[in-house]
A = this chain, B = another copy of it.
Amino acid sequence: MVNPQTDEIRPISVSESPEDKFREFLEIRGEKLTDPRRVLVRHIYSTHKHFDADELVRDLHDSGRAISRSTVYRTLRLLVDAGLLRELRLTNRTAYEHDYGYPDHDHLHCTSCNKVVEFRNEEILKLRDAVSRANGFRASGHRFLIEGVCSSCSRSHSPRRRLDLI
């Protein structure tokens, strides 16, 4: 019998702040940590949760630090390239999660309500990487997504809705 037990997912201690890591990344490319970028990276790392571009635009607008939609999208791309964020391409939108100071893990995604649940299972991590390698996929940057229907959605037979990410 397989063991579905999943390990805890808790922050890894890192020496550099996300902001510093971002600044460093930008400097190497001859770019700058501007005001809007700093606001974004700080806001994003102020809470550990999944989010999307629209949420960011809304939150910052509501807190009086409005940043244009294009800047948000452009900065998100930079943060991904900098290794600070990871993209989760879901049903209709792209969600992001912290990819710095956080251990390797995988996700369950409810295709009905869009809920995302994180889990960490050593066995799956190993198998995932082994299968990837066996198929010539690069060893880093993988992420498993288990698509399914969560309990609340399979109870109610309502069709696809957009709910919050977790």
Contact = CB atoms under 8 A, between A and B. Distances in A.
Contact of A108 (B5, B89, B110, B135): B135
A137 B110 CA distance: 8
Interface residues of A, number: 41
A6 B89 contact: no
A104 interface: no
Contacts of A124: 124, 127-128, 131
B126 A2 contact: yes
A23 interface: no
A71 interface: no
A149 B141 CA distance: 8
Interface of A: 2-6, 87, 89-91, 108, 110-111, 117, 119, 121, 123-124, 126-128, 130-138, 141-151, 154
29 contacts: A2-B123, A5-B134, A6-B131, A6-B134, A89-B90, A89-B111, A108-B135, A108-B137, A119-B135, A121-B127, A121-B131, A124-B124, A124-B128, A127-B127, A132-B148, A135-B150, A136-B151, A137-B148, A137-B149, A137-B150, A138-B151, A138-B154, A141-B147, A141-B149, A142-B146, A142-B148, A143-B146, A143-B147, A144-B147
